[in-house]
């Protein structure tokens, strides 16, 4: 009875979540290209604004997928440093600890290690993004009435991965020379959630000082 690598609990044996692709040629793909082009200009405040004549739900959907992919990639580079031993709880500094619940499979919040929490979190987000009734990829298919509240929950949870990386794994980020990449990604994320008021200020508290530092230059 050979145990399969999936059951062995070793994270390094499995690659992290697959990238979620936006279908080429679709309107959402065009929106993503627009976002990338304005990001290239270096003005993040401009880059997050709703393009003229576009649907807010669709703009939030495209950017949520993009942030999922970015955080996925950033976290993927430091998974060797984020282990059951190094991070027995999911935290963002000594004052903030997160317990996992998704409301369906796990209703009562459970205390778990950071790698397990982030695995739950990213799997949960991926499931939401893959749900065509929540994130329709076909043109003309309407977004559900509760789309914004779903998007807000996704972004609130993705923020926790940034918070964990900054608080617990910033040294390896510097060693890997990813500091600028992480800061730009996070700054883009913050400008986006601020522009559309998507995350409650209380939720952002673990990184409040950093947020003020990163955003004050661009007032």
Q: Residues comprising the binding site?
A: 82, 87, 164, 169
- List binding-site positions for Zn(2+): 82, 87, 164, 169
CA atoms within 13 A on the CB side of 57: 16
Burial grade of 113 (CB within 10 A; 0-12, 13-18, 19 or more):
middle
User: Cα-atom radius of gyration of the chain, to the nearest Å?
Assistant: 18
Give the pair of three-digit tokens for residue 16: 């992290």
Per-residue DSSP letters for 172-216?
HHHHTT-HHHHHHHHHHHHHHHHHTT-S-GGGGGGGHHHHHHHHH
Interatomic CA distance for residues 64 and 150, integer angstroms: 11
CA dihedral defined by 76, 15, 204, 134, rounded to 10 degrees?
A: 140
Check residue 82 and give left, alpha or beta (phi > 0: left; psi -120 to 50: alpha). beta
* 98 phi and psi angles, rounded to 5 deg: -110, 135
């Amino acid at each position: 009875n050979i145990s399969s690598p999936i059951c062995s609990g070793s994270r390094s044996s499995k690659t992290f979540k697959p990238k979620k692709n936006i279908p080429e040629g679709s309107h959402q793909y065009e929106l993503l290209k627009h976002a990338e082009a304005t990001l290239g200009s270096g003005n993040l405040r401009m880059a997050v604004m709703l393009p003229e004549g576009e649907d807010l739900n669709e703009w939030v959907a495209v950017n949520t997928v993009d942030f999922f992919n970015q955080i996925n990639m950033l976290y993927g580079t430091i998974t060797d440093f984020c282990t059951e031993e190094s991070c027995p709880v999911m935290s963002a500094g000594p004052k903030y600890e997160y317990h996992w619940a998704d409301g369906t499979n796990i209703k009562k919040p459970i205390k778990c290690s950071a790698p397990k929490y982030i695995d739950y979190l990213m799997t949960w987000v991926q499931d939401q993004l893959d749900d065509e009734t929540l994130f329709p990829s076909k043109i003309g298919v309407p977004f559900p009435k509760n789309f914004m509240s779903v998007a807000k929950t996704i972004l609130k949870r993705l923020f926790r991965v940034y918070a964990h990386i900054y608080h617990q794994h910033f040294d390896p980020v510097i060693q890997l020379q990813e500091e600028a990449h992480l800061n730009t990604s996070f700054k883009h994320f913050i400008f986006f959630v601020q522009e559309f008021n998507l995350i409650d200020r209380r939720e952002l508290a673990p990184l409040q000082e950093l947020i003020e530092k990163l955003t004050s230059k661009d007032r």
